[in-house]
A and B are shown apart, each in its own frame.
Chain A
């Protein structure tokens, strides 16, 4: 009887991916990675342990994300000095942007809105996204803040409780702020791009895509970081070190499980109906808030999706090793 082929160890599995990624980037379609960076990473992979618990198939990703957590911590810039108080901090009025984390962040950046949010806003801009994209953005926001929440788990739990996260419910946000500042100062914007009539210069709304594999990697890395360091350092390292490395990483988006789509559509219709009847300025069409179905990854943490996450992990690790002197 012939012997069963031995299953590669997590170290061997990740090392093979590193070698393959190093060879691929030697071509013209990706930034080249030096042989030294590959060698450095291979040495680290060989000595790395597999943190946490899980299935056999998850071991390579746990190894890679554990290693990434170690390297990120080494690059932690520290808490830094207290920044001097700048003018925008005292600014009491201005534009307040509300909605899912990622869209708010990108939209504020696109419009040069820096510093603290105004406590007494002139204008309130509420970003309405298709509900499935809004949920993906909220999931991404929670993960970047250090929460260990799976996409599938979050959506299942929301559907079971028949709730949507407050940040994804644009109509509720707009209604609440209408009561605070008056309907004439609230704008619900349902489409990305430039929107006139909000500020003097056309207001730019950005809906950044959420890449399932990249956010899953953040979740896995954050899970290990959580046990290596305190919450403040964890958030600082994720935001300050990991986010720039993953910015621009494109790939398939998360998708709501097919059996939950009727629930999603019902909730989205509710948001659209309330948005249409809100009485505040509506830029775009309430129908834009219906699920767009742009995602394709139902369970970013599953065995099927593991290869994509590992690929992002290896790319990120190589980028760090390339930058390390």
Chain B
């Protein structure tokens, strides 16, 4: 019997992947009962597998990823029906990682279809910079733009950016051993398109039309505006050294960025300056020609990769309007104060519980004689004559 195909979704970041993965994870049992496997036991299960495949340290999370790819591949090989594997970080896989991944999934005996969801660079560039800012970096937007346009790809940011965003290169690595008809591009519609159009494209590309599932999501990766991102960048420069990464994740990325600053939707949105727009437009046209030449399948339209003309004036996050930044800062401070108040209440509760537990332990453990000794010691240690007596007693008893 021929086994179902493996849909291997390898990126790119910021193309609706979180929503797709959330829906698939939330419906994984229902889909499995209909014959489709989404192999993950936790929402980030496939992310961990990707970290393991690429030996990618991720702030300590990689400790939870030991053996995750092999475990995933085993489940996939044992499943007879179609399978979906999806994580955008797979875009950065190197040729050796790709070879290992495909072999472990049973390729070439088992059919593997590689899919990549893609979006125009003019929306990807600011989104990537914002992700960098949300991961403790303090780089200015201008420097970020310079680095990613530099053909030498200096520093850490540019190599990662292009590993994750250079669509022809990503598919060149992942589809080197696959026929073109087993490779599909899903384009993210341009601004102003119907909200569910991208989802319809995912349904078509992954062959989900015949399956029943519920559309809901619990996780979101919302975007911030210009003053909010500028504020967070300044905060990073001041606080990164004094706030450990584990606390940063909870207090800055989750509390400030996602739950506070991203809710301010009236502020100017991030974009790119005119000259970067022109550069991205030229690059996109080259990519489109390359991708057309390779003959990959397309769900959507390759023209979606060319940037839409800017509708609003460019707002530079390196020179934001200070009043807007100040307003965002007040909201951020308020959120931090609310959280600090909550934590103080938790601390007070815990202290009370600890005192109760100590008292109970004291009462339960010490017999009368010992309790009397403790009381006598406490009484004596508060008086000079008592302390002298304690010293004499200790010396007479020898080593501690």
User: Once bound together, how far apart are the Cα atoms of A122 and B400, in whole Å?
Assistant: 7
Q: Fill in one digit per residue for A147-182: 1 if any B CB lies within 8 Å of its CB, else 0.
A: 010000000110011000000000000000000111
Residue pair B160, A50 in contact (C-beta under 8 Å): no
Q: Are B56 and A52 in contact (CB under 8 A)?
A: yes
The reply to whether B399 and A51 form a contact with Cβ atoms under 8 Å apart is: no
Q: Max chain B CB contacts within 10 Å: which of A53, A122, A156, A226? A: A53
Inter-subunit contact B63/A223 (CB<8 Å): no
Q: How far is the CA of A179 from the CA of B96 in the complex (A)?
A: 59
Contact A120 B65, beta carbon cutoff 8 Å:
no
Tell me which residues across on chain B come within 8 A of A49, comparing CB atoms.
Answer: 55, 94-97
CA distance A226 to B66 in the complex (A): 8
Q: Roughly how many angstroms separate A157 CA and B241 CA in the complex, as a whole number?
A: 5
- The 8 Å CB contact of A53, one of B52, B95, B160, B241, is B160
Task: Tell me if A304 is interfacial: C-beta within 8 Å of chain B.
Answer: no
A226 & B57 in contact (Cβ 8 Å cutoff): yes
Q: Check A227/B399 contact, CB under 8 A, given A53-B56, A53-B156.
A: no
Give CA–CA (A224, B55) in the complex, Å. Answer: 6
In the assembled complex, B159 has its CB within 8 A of some CB on chain A: yes
Question: Interface residues of B, CB < 8 Å — how many?
Answer: 28
Residues of A within 8 A of B97 (CB): 49
Interface stretch of the complex, out of A32-40, A107-115, A228-236: A228-236
- Which chain A positions have C-beta within 8 A of B153? 56
Chain A interface secondary structure, helix, strand, loop or mixed?
loop
Inter-chain contacts of B51 with A (CB < 8 A): 227
Interface residue B155 (Cβ < 8 Å from any Cβ of A) = yes
Residues of A within 8 A of B155 (CB): 55
Q: List 6 A-B contacts (CB under 8 A).
A: A49-B94, A53-B92, A54-B156, A182-B400, A185-B399, A227-B52
Is A102 at the interface (CB under 8 A from chain B)? no
Instruction: Write out the residue numbers on chain B whose beta carbons fall within 8 Å of the beta carbon of A161.
Output: 241-242
- Which of A52, A122, A160, A224 makes the CB contact (< 8 A) with B241? A160
Q: Is the CB of B57 within 8 A of A223?
A: yes
Q: Give the residues in chain B near A66, CB-CB below 8 Å.
A: 55
The listed residue (B52, B62, B156, B399) touching A55 by CB distance below 8 A is B156
Residue from the list B60, B92, B95, B394 in contact with A182, Cβ < 8 A: B394
The distance from the CB of B235 to the nearest CB of chain A, in whole angstroms, is 14
Chain A residues near B63 (CB-CB < 8 A): 226-227, 230-231
Interface flag for A93 (CB, 8 Å): yes
Query: Is B54 at the interface (CB under 8 A from chain A)?
Result: yes
With a cutoff of 8 Å between Cβ atoms, the chain A residues found around residue B241 in the complex are 156-157, 160-161
Q: Interface code B66-95, partner A: CB below 8 Å = 1, 0 otherwise?
A: 100000000000000000000000001011
Given A156-B241, A160-B242, verify A227-B55 contact (CB < 8 Å).
Answer: yes
Q: Are B399 and A93 in contact (CB under 8 A)?
A: yes
CB within 8 Å of B: which residues of A?
A: 48-56, 66, 93, 120-122, 148, 156-157, 160-161, 180-182, 185, 223-224, 226-231
Task: With both chains docked as a complex, state the minimum distance between the C-beta of B221 and any C-beta of chain A, in angstroms.
Answer: 20
Residues of chain B with a CB closer than 8 A to A224's CB: 55, 57
Task: Give CA–CA (A114, B128) in the complex, Å.
Answer: 53
Chain A residue at minimal CB-CB distance from B99: A49
With CB as the reference atom, state the residue of chain B lying closest to A47: B96
Closest 9 pairs between A and B when the two form their complex, measured CB to CB: A51-B55, A49-B96, A160-B241, A227-B62, A160-B242, A181-B400, A223-B57, A157-B241, A55-B156
Smallest beta-carbon distance A218→chain B, Å: 14
B306-346 to A contact mask, C-beta < 8 Å, 1/0: 00000000000000000000000000000000000000000
Q: How far does the Cβ of B56 sit from chain A's closest Cβ, in whole Å?
A: 6
Point out which of B55, B56, B65 has the most chain A C-beta atoms below 10 A from its C-beta. Answer: B55
Min distance, Cβ A61 to any Cβ of chain B, angstroms: 14
Per the bound structure, the CA–CA distance linking A120 and B397 in Å amounts to 14
The CA of A223 and the CA of B57, in the complex, are separated in Å by 7
Task: Note all chain B residues with C-beta closer than 8 A to A48.
Answer: 96
Give min CB distance, B302 to chain A, whole Å.
29
- Residues of B contacting A229 in the complex (Cβ-Cβ under 8 angstroms): 66
Residues in A neighbouring B60, C-beta threshold 8 A: 148
With beta carbons under 8 angstroms apart, the residue of B54, B55, B95, B156 that contacts A228 is B55
Are B57 and A227 in contact, CB atoms less than 8 angstroms apart? yes
Q: A residues within 8 A CB of B154?
A: 55-56
> In the complex, A103 Cα to B50 Cα: how many Å?
40
Q: How far is the CA of A187 from the CA of B224 in the complex (A)?
A: 57
* Residues of the A chain whose Cβ atoms lie less than 8 Å from the Cβ of B159: 53-56
In the bound complex, how far is the Cα of B240 from the Cα of A160, in angstroms?
Answer: 10
- CA–CA, A163 to B94, complex, Å? 41
Find out whether the CB atom of B57 lies under 8 angstroms from the CB atom of A148: yes
| Alpha-carbon gap, A157 to B242, bound state (A) | 6
Q: How many angstroms between the C-alpha atoms of A227 and B49 in the bound complex?
A: 11
User: With contacts A49-B97, A148-B60, A230-B63 known, what are 14 further pairs, Cβ within 8 A?
Assistant: A49-B96, A52-B54, A52-B56, A53-B159, A55-B155, A55-B156, A56-B159, A66-B55, A160-B242, A180-B400, A181-B400, A185-B400, A227-B51, A228-B66
Q: Which B residue sits closest to A146, measured CB to CB?
A: B63
Q: How far is the CA of A185 from the CA of B92 in the complex (A)?
A: 59
**Bound complex: CA of A98 vs CA of B355, how far in Å?**
32
Q: Which residues does chain B contribute within 8 Å of A55, judged by CB atoms? A: 154-156, 159
Interchain CB contact under 8 A, A120 and B400: yes
Minimum CB–CB distance from A50 to chain B (whole Å) comes to: 6
A227 to B56, CA, bound (A): 7
A1 CB to nearest chain B CB (Å): 15
CA distance A131 to B266 in the complex (A): 52
Residues of chain A contacted by B95 (CB below 8 angstroms): 49
Known: A157-B242, A226-B57, A229-B66. A50 touches B94 (CB 8 A): yes
CB proximity of A33 to chain B, nearest CB, Å: 27
Contact yes or no, A227 B65, CB < 8 A: yes
Hey, which chain B residues are within 8 Å of A51, CB to CB?
A: 54-56
Q: What residues on B are CB-neighbors of A185 within 8 Å?
A: 399-400
Task: Write the chain A residue with the least CB distance to B157.
Answer: A55
Please, which residues of chain B bring their CB within 8 A of the CB of A122? 399
The residue in chain A whose Cβ has the minimal distance to the Cβ of B96 is A49
